[in-house]
């Protein structure tokens, strides 16, 4: 029985790694859509990748993946997938979509890619209470808001510079799943946002005003909690 149980655990752990690795497939499909200029489809595939990224961590902890398969590093695998879906493809889409001011596309993409590489290389990406330390390179979400709210080139460039700089400052950003305080509210806001984003994608990134209001409200909540925690300081 013990050998059978150990075999089942290894299979479960391998399945979780496979789930995480599937992100490269969703990334490739998102890239194809981006090359074709099909932004709703691109975000649909990025949404699948985001969903997988949200569930593979809890599943990995549940199966004790580091203990069962110590020869495989799921964190590195996750970083590879995340850089593609959170950073590289959004940077390409921002340039291909003409979001940056004329002749500044490469500059904007370089800021996104380089600052994100810096964040991914940080040893201490999270605080003791699981807030991200510095802007956590979620450029897929930034790109989504840029396109949905039809941000002008100047605003896109300014926010790119600002967020790129904030990557290296001790500004705390909430992780809506891992942060314990306000978790129920944060998870509710996240779930509602996911539904609103799905509606937005099905409506060709031009949703009704009430959908935009909901997305804006979710953003205000996440930024507000992050600022509150930053101002609270390390004393908590």
6 or 91: which leads in pLDDT: 91
Q: In the chain, how long is the greatest CA-to-CA distance?
A: 66
Residue 69's pLDDT is 77
> Which tokens is 46 given?
């990025």
At 53 the pLDDT is 86
Average pLDDT on 69-93 reads: 91
Whole-number mean pLDDT of the chain?
A: 92
Query: Cα–Cα distance between 46 and 170 in angstroms, integer?
Result: 28
- Mean pLDDT value of segment 129-153: 96
pLDDT confidence tier of residue 4, bands split at 50, 70 and 90: very low
Helices (H), the chain: 2-21, 23-35, 39-63, 65-68, 74-82, 89-96, 105-121, 139-148, 153-166, 183-202, 209-232
Task: Provide the pLDDT confidence category of residue 210 given band limits of 50, 70 and 90.
Answer: very high
Coil/strand/helix, residue 99: coil
Residue 53 contacts residue 82 (beta carbons within 8 Å): yes
Q: Which residues lie closer than 8 Å to 174 by C-beta, 6 or more apart? A: 131, 132, 186, 222, 225, 226, 229
CA distances from 50 to 108, 139, 203 (A): 23, 12, 20
Read off the pLDDT of residues 221-231 as tens digits, 9 standing for 90 and up.
999 999 999 99
Listed residue (155, 144, 162) closest to 207, CA to CA: 144
* In the chain, % of residues over pLDDT 90: 75
pLDDT band for position 235 (cuts 50, 70, 90): very low
pLDDT average, residue stretch 132-150: 97
Q: What is the pLDDT of residues 93-122, one digit of tens each?
A: 999 999 999 999 999 999 999 999 999 999
pLDDT of residue 102: 96
Question: Which pLDDT band, with edges at 50, 70 and 90, does 234 fall under?
Answer: low
Section 123-127 average pLDDT: 90
Instruction: Choose among 168, 169, 79, 181: nearest CA to 129.
Output: 181
Residue for token pair 């690795």: 21
Query: Looking at per-residue confidence, does 95 or 55 come out higher?
Result: 95
Closest CA to 198 of 54, 43, 16, 86: 43
Confidence (pLDDT) at 5? 45
% residues pLDDT > 70 (the chain): 97
CA distance 35 to 85: 14
Gap between the Cα atoms of 41 and 26, Å rounded: 11
What gap in Å lies between CA 149 and CA 140, rounded to an integer?
14
Q: Do 119 and 125 meet the contact criterion of CB atoms below 8 Å apart?
A: yes
């Amino acid at each position: 029985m013990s050998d059978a149980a150990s075999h089942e655990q290894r299979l479960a752990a391998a399945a979780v790694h496979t789930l995480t690795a599937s992100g490269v497939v969703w990334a490739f499909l998102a890239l194809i859509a981006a090359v074709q200029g099909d932004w709703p489809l691109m975000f649909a595939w990025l949404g699948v990748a985001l969903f997988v990224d949200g569930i593979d961590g809890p599943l990995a902890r549940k199966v004790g993946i580091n203990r069962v398969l110590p020869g495989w590093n799921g964190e590195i695998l996750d970083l590879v997938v995340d850089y593609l879906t959170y950073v590289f493809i959004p940077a390409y889409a921002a340039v291909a979509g003409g979001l940056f001011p004329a002749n500044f596309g490469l500059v904007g993409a370089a800021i996104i890619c380089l600052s994100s590489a810096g964040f991914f290389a940080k040893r201490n990406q999270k605080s003791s209470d699981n807030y991200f330390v510095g802007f956590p390179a979620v450029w897929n979400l930034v790109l989504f808001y840029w396109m949905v709210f039809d941000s002008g080139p100047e605003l896109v460039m300014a926010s790119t510079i600002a967020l790129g700089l904030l990557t290296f400052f001790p500004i705390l950003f909430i992780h809506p799943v891992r942060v314990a305080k306000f978790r129920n509210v944060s998870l509710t806001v996240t779930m509602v946002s996911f539904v609103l984003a799905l509606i937005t994608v099905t409506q060709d990134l031009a949703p009704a005003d009430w959908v935009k209001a909901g997305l804006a409200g979710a953003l205000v909540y996440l930024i507000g909690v992050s600022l509150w925690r930053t101002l609270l300081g390390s004393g908590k």
